Structure 1
Amino acid sequence: MSDFSNDIPEAAKLYLSERRLDEVECIIPDLPGIARGKAVPATKFAKQEYFHLPDSIFYQTITGEWGEAAGADGFIERDMILRADLSTATAAPWTGDWTLQVIHDAFDRHGEPVPFSPRNVLKKVVQLYHDQGWEPVVAPEMEFFLVARNIDPAHDIKPMMGRSGRPAAARQAYSMTAVDEFGPVIDDIYDFAEAQGFEIDGITQEGGAGQLEINLRHGDPVKLADEVFYFKRLIREAALRHDCFATFMAKPIADEPGSAMHIHHSILDVKTGKNIFSDDDGEETPAFRHFIGGMQRHMPAAIAVLAPYVNSYRRYVKDHAAPINLEWARDNRTTGIRVPLAPPAARRVENRVAGMDCNPYLGIAASLACGYLGLMAELEPTDEFRGDAYEGDGDFPQVLGQALELFEEARDLHEVLGPEFCRVYGIVKRSEYEEFLQVISPWEREHLLLNV
């Protein structure tokens, strides 16, 4: 691997031009989407064909505890073989020296992909599409909040102080003045993204106080998941430079809208390059309907992946910019499944249910899995919804415990995502949920202490 610099993307080569590479961060996304791995000197990376980490990194909860997911042999922490995907090499421009990040893929000792590694899960789902002669295309939208530094979990999260010296204001969706309030942070986000070779399709102010949205260009699901994974880190680093935090919690502030990761889907026929959602006359195809039908049928069981934490379910509130059901409609932002305005060649289906707190690899994989099951079973959707979908009833789980029950029973979904992944994921998320249930909340102390 001594000549690895010849195999990295052009943006990484440009970043290092006439500079000496000091360090390489060898990373892999875990179940929550946290970067795990190790940093090595560039000279060592040049000689390194692989490195090891224990498979237990995928059994760890968000709190640092462990789910009992190791299997029949027990918690022996087998070494995985992690191999670099040099196409993911990108700058870490916030570091004090010249550093690259490289995402690695996980294999077992027999050379087989580790089935509960999130990137491998997404690759498996994409391969199922390829086996049918289809090329799935996605475009994620990332919503997040810039908030004041919060170092005491007992304190409420508050909006950050804007450039004007006033706290960021809510209810200013699409306001350019509101975007200007965060100018220095946004400038660093753009600079970091440019150094890393990422193309931003646009940044807008959302409806929450200090809430922004970044749209990414459509493309290959694995590549886009890599970019979201990297973007979360670069946005956090940009915020820290300006004495604020970036948070991707689904619902960080009680009276504000939550943050979603809307996922747009289309599918190309590999042979013709045409969108299978449109026929030669530009009309909607049966495949278009079947994809929506699959999302309606299977997404309730996938909610545990799209909304992975107890906080995730606080986002699904009527009239608060998040769906409460799986109705579908054209150009209607109140439904869980939306068909945006687009010409026939760009006809697509938008999943508005996924939260920004989900692992991007797993969120995209679960969303594609639902559509795939619909395509394979030729499932028909309900009639297109007319009107305000917030006036209807909710038809997916509203708490994590219920979502996990549906996920654990969803055998069709397990076959697409991988039974071993689903086993591990269910155990780890159930462990997290049980940890949460041991915590007594301020609401309980306030209203129950002296009243019951």
Structure 2
Amino acid sequence: MTDWLDQAPEAARLYLNGKRPEEIECMVSDLPGIARGKAMPAGKFARQSRFFLPRTIFHQTITGGWATVPVPEDATEPDMILTPDYSTATAAPWTADRTLQVIHDMELQEGGPVPAAPRNVLKRVVAAYEARGLTPVVAPEMEFYLVARNTDPGHAIEPMIGRTGRAAAARQAYSLSAVDEYGGVIDDIYDFAEAQGFEIDGITQEGGAGQLEINLRHGSPVKLADEIFFFKRLIREAALRHNCFATFMAKPIENEPGSSMHIHHSIIDADGRNIFSGPNDEETDAFRHFIGGLQHHLPSVTALLAPYVNSYRRYVKEFAAPVNLEWGRDNRTAGLRIPIAEPQARRIENRIAGMDCNPYLGIAASLACGLLGMDEQREPREECNGDAYDSDQGVPRGLFDALELFDSAHALHDLLSPEFAKVYSVVKRTEYDEYLQAISPWEREHLLINV
């Protein structure tokens, strides 16, 4: 029998350095993007070709509660079949033993992909492009905060303490000195990423106190979503080594900018040409229609790009977050930005998604909006050449409104999967009900004795 490690990426084999792994973490992404699965001895993993988890893991809320979804499996909790995707095998270099992580494909017992699985949702959207002879390419940017350890939810989140003994400073965007404040964490991020075979395009200080951005090289949407899924865990582990937390909350600290996951898009045809650029390097109909699709359909998928009540705290004017769906060339006030690039690298940057979104779902939603725009030949509005913050063409400002738009977006449901759309909506509404049971410090301060 062929050794399964022969199918693993070179980085995983280099990490093992000729030795056998000791443990395998078999994992999938749930709706929030949390890794679910099983850890097992490597010898046992090598002897089996699949394992099982209940399909209802996709009905679980971020609090650990369970939504009641009107689908047959909610009552009986049948298993789904998980088979390893060996191409995703990667090191877990923070562990004490030789551990590899492997993402698994999820199928129904009767055959076919599990509809509610986020990775399958993205695969479904990519397949829709492939059916049209197209290959989508994405490049994500990941923003996050390094913060002081916080074990009491009643306490406000504070910036981490840097090597100088001072709290990380805000308003230091692109400062190399600010990056050096937490150089130890960044060194571990680089070391872990190298061990896992991930290529970082760059790390910069963002505008918030302790806020960083990591850019990843462009590539396949599923591969890049896998990497973000792995990266979130990698970054958290690097932070814990230095007595701080890494957080991907959209808005963790009051009066500081939020954290986004900007998504750059381009599309390649069967001949390897970028369809956003014509034979004379001009912008094409496909380029305009993709923008038009984003402008028209993004409000309907904002619930996927901004999945929590906290997500909407990020959409504040003048806090480096878009509150509009305008488009413009090299214009960072616009929700849809066209970066400076050569014609063969012409791309569209969606700046709406928060870093708290599930990467599979965020990328799938954005690609689906652009594809619908091309199918519908939707023309964009006029380019915004000024301050797009003045625009009133915005995204929903709260989760409940976003879910109302999502529930009525049937064309998008067909692309993403109607069953997924049903499950997602019920889970998010259950989370919203859970949130309403929590009383915030603001309410206690201003309402307790004043109303």
**What's the TM-score bracket when you normalise by the shorter of the two chains?**
over 0.9
Q: State the alpha-carbon separation in 1 of the partners of residues 73 and 91 from structure 2.
A: 39
Q: CA deviation at 1:74?
A: 4.1
Give CA deviations for 1:295-332 in whole Å, capped at 9, x if unaligned. 00000000000000000000000000000010000000
Q: What is the Cα deviation at residue 2 of structure 1? A: 5.7
Of residues 103-112 and 202-211 in structure 1, the stretch that sits farther from structure 2 once superposed is: 103-112
Counterparts of 1:315 and 1:21 in 2: how far apart (Å)?
A: 42
Q: Is the 8 A contact 2:55 2:73 kept in 1?
A: no
User: Which residue of structure 1 lines up, in the alignment, with residue 385 of structure 2?
Assistant: 386
- 1:342 and 2:341 are equivalent in the alignment: yes
> Could you tell me how far 1:255 is from its partner in structure 2?
0.8
2:284 corresponds to: 285
Q: Do the aligned partners of 1:55 and 1:78 also contact (CA within 8 Å) in 2? A: yes
Q: Is the 8 A contact 1:307 1:354 kept in 2?
A: yes
- Alignment correspondent of 1:196: 196
**Aligned counterparts, 1:45-60, within 5 A:** 45-60=45-60
Q: What aligned pairs does 1:132-171 form with structure 2 within 5 A after superposition?
A: 132-171=132-171
| Matched residue SS, 1:261 | coil
1:407 Cα deviation from its structure 2 partner: 0.4
* Equivalent residue runs for 1:238-249 within 5 Å: 238-249=238-249
SS in 2 for 1:36: strand
Structure 1 segment 212-227 matched on structure 2, within 5 A: 212-227=212-227
1:352 equivalenced with 2:344 (yes/no)? no
Match of 2:400 in 1: 401
Q: Contact 1:2 / 1:46 at 8 angstroms: preserved in 2?
A: no
1:442 aligned residue: 441
- One-letter amino acid of the counterpart of residue 20, structure 1: R
- Asked if the contact 1:122/1:364 (under 8 Å) is kept, the reply is yes
User: Residue 122 of structure 2 corresponds to which residue in structure 1?
Assistant: 122
**Is 1:412 matched up with 2:400?**
no
Q: Secondary structure at the match of 1:75?
A: helix
Q: Please tell me the residue identity of whatever aligns with 1:71.
A: V
Match of 1:175 in 2: 175
Conserved? CA contact 1:24–1:45, under 8 Å: yes
Residues 249-398 of structure 1 mapped to structure 2, 5 A cutoff = 249-270=249-270, 272-398=271-397
Alignment-derived partner of residue 76 in structure 2: 76
* 2: CA distance, partners of 1:437 / 1:396: 22
Q: CA deviation at 1:390?
A: 1.1
The answer to whether the Cα contact below 8 Å between 2:56 and 2:73 also exists between their aligned partners in 1 is no
* Counterpart contact for 1:59–1:70, Cα < 8 Å: no
RMSD: 0.9
Instruction: Show CA shifts across 1:78-118 (max 9, x none).
Output: 10000100000000000010000000011011121000100
Contact kept? 1:56, 1:70, Cα under 8 Å: no
Aligned partner of residue 444 in structure 2, secondary structure: helix
Aligned residue identity for 2:18: E
Taking the aligned partners of 2:133 and 2:118, their CA distance within structure 1 comes to: 23
Q: Which amino acid aligns with 1:142?
A: M
Name the stretch that deviates more: 383-392 or 250-259: 383-392
1:136 aligned partner, one-letter code: P
Indicate conservation of the 8 Å contact 1:225/1:364, yes or no: yes
Deviation per residue, 1:200-227 (Å, 9 max, x gap): 0000000000000000000000000000
Cα distance between partner residues in 1 of 2:342 and 2:385: 21
Q: Given residue 102 of structure 2, which amino acid in structure 1 is its aligned partner?
A: V
> 1:2·1:47 contact (CA, 8 Å) conserved in 2?
no
What secondary structure does 1:253 align onto? Answer: coil
Shift in Å at residue 37 of structure 1?
Answer: 0.2
Instruction: Write the distance in 2 (CA, Å) between the matches of 1:172 and 1:390.
Output: 22
Task: Report the residue type matching 1:148 in the other structure.
Answer: A
| 8 Å contact from structure 1 (residues 12, 90) kept in 2 | yes
Equivalent position of 1:206 in the other structure? 206
Q: How many pairs align?
A: 451
Structure 1 segments of 4+ aligned residues over 3 angstroms from their partners = none
**Within the alignment, does 1:91 sit opposite 2:88 as a pair?**
no
Structure 2 unmatched runs, 5+: none
Query: Gaps (5+ residues) in structure 1?
Result: none
The CA distance in 1 between the partners of 2:419 and 2:2, in whole Å, is 36
TM-score, normalised relative to structure 1: 0.99
When residues 146 and 344 of structure 1 are mapped into structure 2, their CA distance, relative to the original with a 3 A threshold, is: same
Is the partner of 1:267 in helix, strand or coil? strand
CA separation in 1, counterparts of 2:390 and 2:291? 21
Distance in 1 (alpha carbons) for counterparts of 2:213 and 2:422: 33
Summarize the Cα distance change of 1:2–1:26 in structure 2 as closer, same or farther, 3 Å threshold: farther
Q: TM-score, normalised by structure 2?
A: 0.99
SS at 2:262 equivalent:
strand
